[in-house]
């Protein structure tokens, strides 16, 4: 049974205080075996907004829900019109210092793995290997009828051909590559279907209200079990898809460290939550460990 998604969380008054001290993060990385769990906050410095931080997209819109997408042709039209426009911007985003630091830690053998809740592919673009995309990736499209998977760039070309004059001005961008458009702006947008079976196309991402693949969850649980510690980067941990791994690590007695500007649902399980911008924090830690980013260049 699918549940309506948890879109917000109010921090209780008795959460542990945050810190700006990065020594525990540096010590964990120095010891090795760190599993990274990243959220939308690591990509904000690449120009992709987050959901729940200050000015987050949830303050102005409700993201597409799985049940709405599969149950309504109009909802699909609205989604693909907004996503097609957003992809033009989203697809040009580049890794920032935070992504590059994570990749550098991996190259130096300090990580047990990387799990990301993001769908932007920026960890991989920065050079991280074996990234588990908990919520999928926007660079792929899947057919809901036959299961065929195809590149997003191919769909973008087909949508461009079907809507050659589609150039609306968006009010903003969202973390899932979805541009803010009015109903009038999407009313005449033409959809395309699967080239294999003429079925309905969906981005290969987990929508709000949709279940994460059990196989993917199990792989993440294995990584938590193998790791020495868990480092959460830029996630409020509001939804259970990420919080469960924090709880698993804490229950196993493994240190949990969080770098996030705002309080998170995982703070009660954490050794510390560092309240610093991620690019600054991770670059500082890399410098402390003598690890260069991008072969020695720094942002």
Residue 144: half-sphere exposure toward Cβ, Cα within 13 Å: 14
* Chain mean position to CA 273: 19
pLDDT for position 9: 65
* pLDDT tens per residue, range 234-264: 999 998 889 999 999 999 999 999 999 999 9
Q: What is the pLDDT of residues 34-74, one digit of tens each?
A: 999 999 999 999 988 765 445 444 444 567 899 999 999 99
pLDDT band per the 50, 70, 90 thresholds, residue 86: confident
Tell me which H or E stretch contains 276.
none
Q: Which member of 84, 99, 123, 135 is catalytic? A: 135
Tell whether residue 54 is among the known ligand binding residues: yes
Q: What CATH topology corresponds to 16-48+96-135+212-299?
A: Rossmann fold (3.40.50)
**Average pLDDT in the chain:** 89
Q: How far is CA 4 from the centre of its chain?
A: 20
66: annotated binding-site residue? no
Does 56-92+138-205 match 16-48+96-135+212-299 at the fold level?
no
Residue 202's nearest CA partner among 160, 118, 119, 145 is: 145
Distance, CA of 99 to CA of 128 (rounded, Å): 8
Q: Give the CATH number of domain 56-92+138-205; options: 1.20.1740, 3.90.930, 3.30.1600, 3.40.30.
A: 3.30.1600
Q: Is 117 annotated as a binding residue?
A: yes
* Cβ neighbours for 244, distance < 8 A, ≥ 6 positions apart: 217
What pLDDT, on a 0 to 100 scale, did the predictor assign at position 177?
61
* 55 annotated ligand binder: yes
216 is in an annotated binding site: no
Q: How far is CA 61 from CA 6, 44, 78, 175, 205, in A?
A: 14, 18, 13, 12, 19
Residue 166 is predicted with a pLDDT of 87
**Would you kindly state where each structural domain of the chain is located, as residue ranges?**
16-48+96-135+212-299, 56-92+138-205
Does residue 223 contact residue 254 with C-beta atoms inside 8 Å? no
Is the pTM for the entire model greater than 0.85? yes
Beta bridge partners of 132: 115
Distances (CA, A) of 140 to 29, 38, 252, 261, 298: 32, 20, 35, 31, 31
The pLDDT tens digits of the residues spanning 139-184 come to 999 999 999 999 999 999 999 999 998 888 766 666 566 677 778 8
Find out whether 220 is annotated in a ligand binding site. Answer: no
10 Å Cβ neighbour count for 253?
Answer: 6
Q: Reply yes or no on whether 269 is catalytic.
A: no
């Amino acid at each position: 049974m699918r549940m309506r998604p948890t879109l917000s969380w109010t921090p209780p008054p008795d959460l542990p205080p945050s810190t700006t001290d990065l020594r525990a993060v540096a010590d964990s990385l120095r010891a090795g075996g760190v599993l990274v769990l990243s959220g939308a906050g690591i990509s904000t410095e690449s120009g992709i907004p987050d959901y729940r931080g200050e000015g987050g997209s949830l303050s102005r819109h409700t993201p597409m829900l799985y049940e709405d997408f599969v149950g309504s042709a109009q909802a699909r039209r609205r989604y693909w019109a907004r996503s097609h426009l957003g992809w033009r911007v989203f697809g040009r985003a580049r890794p920032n210092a935070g992504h590059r630091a994570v990749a550098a830690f991996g190259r130096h053998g300090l990580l047990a793995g990387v799990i990301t809740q993001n769908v932007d592919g920026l960890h991989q673009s920065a050079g991280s290997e074996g990234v588990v995309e908990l919520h999928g990736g926007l660079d792929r499209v899947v057919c809901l009828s036959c299961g065929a998977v195809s590149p997003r760039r191919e769909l973008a070309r087909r949508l461009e051909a079907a809507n050659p004059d589609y150039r609306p001005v968006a009010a903003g961008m969202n973390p899932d590559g979805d541009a803010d458009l009015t109903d009038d702006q999407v009313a005449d947008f033409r959809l395309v279907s699967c080239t294999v079976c003429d079925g309905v196309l969906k981005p290969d991402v987990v929508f709000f209200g949709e279940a994460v693949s059990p196989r993917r969850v199990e792989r993440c649980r294995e990584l938590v079990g193998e790791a020495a510690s868990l480092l959460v980067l830029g996630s409020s941990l509001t939804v259970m898809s990420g919080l469960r791994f924090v709880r698993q690590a804490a229950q196993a007695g493994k240190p949990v460290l969080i770098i996030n500007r705002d309080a998170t649902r995982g703070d009660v399980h954490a050794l510390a939550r560092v309240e610093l911008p991620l690019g600054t924090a991770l670059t500082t830690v890399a410098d402390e460990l003598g690890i260069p980013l991008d072969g020695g260049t720094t942002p």
